[in-house]
Structure 1
């Protein structure tokens, strides 16, 4: 019995001596994390801009009889991905697309009702499609100039500003809506 307990004690000592981590001595931390399947959780960060759903509503009455309702909201299904790598960490930022619902009334009669997104502008400016894929809407607002000639104030002007997610590129579009509901889009590149 004395020899059996001595044998068990030696066997236990050998088991603990074999588990001292010498096999990991010559491995990099990335290899060790990869073996234990923890590398993915430490090597990638994901963020969303904006993080949650956001919505802004504006309701504008103009002296020339126009009533403009603009609802700007986050498209939770579509986004633009920007990926950066620092050392062994990959940062992924998803910039969610922003859409706007524009409703225009003239003398209490609805003359325009459309959802404005990137495709609305690429229908007119097809050569902007590649740039707009990497852009997000920064703002949309009524842009009525008080000293404009009377022909321009007979229409509604709404400005849309798009910003590129990773470089200094901006696009500005102006939507001009006539009292009969017809519209025209112009582009001013910044």
Structure 2
């Protein structure tokens, strides 16, 4: 797998594993997930901005965000708002972030009707580059399929492309 290539696979019908190597040192890649001022520049697919991004980066803390589609060329998506909330379980800086990821409303109330997932982000130091492994475990294959049908894989591909662009800007 080369730098900037997203590799994805499903394990046990309910775990989505995403891997990508970023052209930046591990400490910097980890920082991109920790600080709102960085996340606001790259979180979300192309054409989406992050007007809401609050983080309490500690075990038991949370990250609440809302993305808004600002690209008129995206048709029905233009003006759409999508919010999420993460509850951090464990943080081992700069190696790992473990959290539960939820859909939420604009006030950060969890939407129990939508799939949630337990996420483990592993940051592997490769010197001047970093391998990021994202393991997302859903309660069932149906829940995983639901988010896949929503275009999650395309969205994360664009999001991680934007992350590499941000890394290029700040390194």
Q: TM-score when scaled to structure 1?
A: 0.23
RCO higher in structure (CA 8 A, sep ≥6):
2
Bigger share in strand:
1
Is the radius of gyration larger for structure 1 or structure 2? 1
Q: TM-score when scaled to structure 2?
A: 0.25
